[in-house]
A and B are shown apart, each in its own frame.
Chain A
Amino acid sequence: MCSETLPSPSESASGPSSRNNPSSPLVLNRLWPYQTEIAIAVLDSVFNKKGLTFSVEIARQGGKNELSAQLELLLLTLHIAKPQNLIKCSPTFKPQTAISMMRLRDRLNDAGFAGIWEGELGFIIRLGNARAIFLSAEESANVVGNTAHILLEIDESQDVNKEKYTSDFKPMGATTNVTTVHYGTTWDENTLLEEIKQPNLEFERKDGIKRHFRFDWQEVAKYNPDYQAYVAAEKLRLGENHPLFLTQYCLLPLHGGRIFFKAAESATSG
């Protein structure tokens, strides 16, 4: 049956050959090594249906959304023929969910899927039969009833309400043992991200499987000189002990950081 549909060698040779041509330009940005490390761990869990829950802390502007978008792009492509969903939730629809959707649309277009992917209902991007569903974790948002078959992503997990996550989002992967990824930066010790992170570290001590990934600004700056220059300037501007710098770039949680941060932020901006 397969042989009937296989193209002839000549037909194949006349088709797209960029894969065999090392000089052909990339149409998608390569992920940095620290992003790749996370992606491979997540994909291992997805492909092998391990159902692991990951916590990912990357310094502010260090590439969380790009990593997420490329994971979504790859998974949608691999599941293009299956009526299955991946679900991503963000603390708010505007701007966070909208930004995530925009990022995925851009990557789909970059890859060449323009005109092939379709938007549905304002919060779904469909590629073939596979769907990426983008939901808000705002307390008023009615999101129950969706099923995450491929992947469940929680963006800015430190800002997502714990009860909302437990009651509305976590059950979306119950029947599918879905792999879950929490992205974010540190804030204080009471956040959802921190609640996921601490058991992850404990599990890793027991079974050696890495579930928590942490890459602070220095790790990101190793690969991106522009980022290094930017954060160095922020360090000078804010001071290295400023709560904003400590949480968002050094990824160090603060005791009561939320209150302290807001006070310090208004003092800085004023």
Chain B
Amino acid sequence: MTDEVLKTGEISKKRGAPLGNQYARTHGFYSPVMTEEERLNFIQATEVQRLDSEIALLRVKIQSLVARDPENLKLITQVTNALCRLIMTKYNISKNDKKGLMEAIENVFRDVALPFGIGFWSVFKK
């Protein structure tokens, strides 16, 4: 549009917002004090914190599950899968690695933790 103005000396009659418009500008509480870059960083940081909170919550959920219902492997698997998803999101693990990560965590639980028997689960739940 700018080129058009320079060449023809006329204002373009194209539809749409004029140059420099602030239609998309957000007017939230932080907007006046944050640049666009800062705002993006802020959103990213908030997202990381949200993931951390969810990861922490799921860890507590898993501990609670193995304490109250250690035989419910299906439910433990579901919550473990959810934990894997969050971890993958946080560390930008690709979808190709997703299955691998979930299987690896399951292998460790099955082959290392479960053979420890009730002794392990009783110390893990505390």
Contact = CB atoms under 8 A, between A and B. Distances in A.
Interface of A: 1-2, 5-7, 9, 12, 15-16, 18-20, 24, 26-28, 30-31, 36, 39-40, 43-44, 47-48, 70, 73-74, 77, 80-81, 110-116, 128-129
B119 A40 contact: yes
A85 B70 CA distance: 28
A1 B56 CA distance: 12
Given A2-B54, A47-B126, A128-B91, A12 B100 contact: no
Contact of B107 (A15, A28, A30, A129): A28
Nearest to A16: B103
B30 interface: no
30 contacts: A1-B57, A6-B78, A6-B81, A7-B82, A15-B81, A15-B102, A24-B110, A27-B107, A27-B111, A28-B107, A31-B112, A40-B116, A47-B124, A48-B123, A48-B126, A70-B112, A74-B112, A74-B113, A77-B109, A80-B105, A81-B55, A81-B56, A81-B59, A81-B83, A111-B104, A111-B111, A112-B100, A113-B100, A113-B104, A116-B97
A5 B115 contact: no
| Chain B contact residues: helix, strand, loop or mixed | helix
Contact of A73 (B61, B86, B91, B112): B112
Interface of B: 52, 54-59, 61, 73-74, 77-79, 81-83, 85-87, 90-91, 93, 97, 99-117, 119-120, 123-124, 126
A77 B106 contact: no
Contacts of B109: 19, 77
A226 B79 CA distance: 41
B36 to A, nearest CB: 29
Contact of A80 (B61, B81, B87, B115): B87
- Counting chain B CB atoms within 10 Å of each CB, which of A5, A7, A113 scores highest? A5
Contact of B104 (A6, A7, A31, A112): A112
A28 B111 contact: yes
Contacts of B102: 15-16
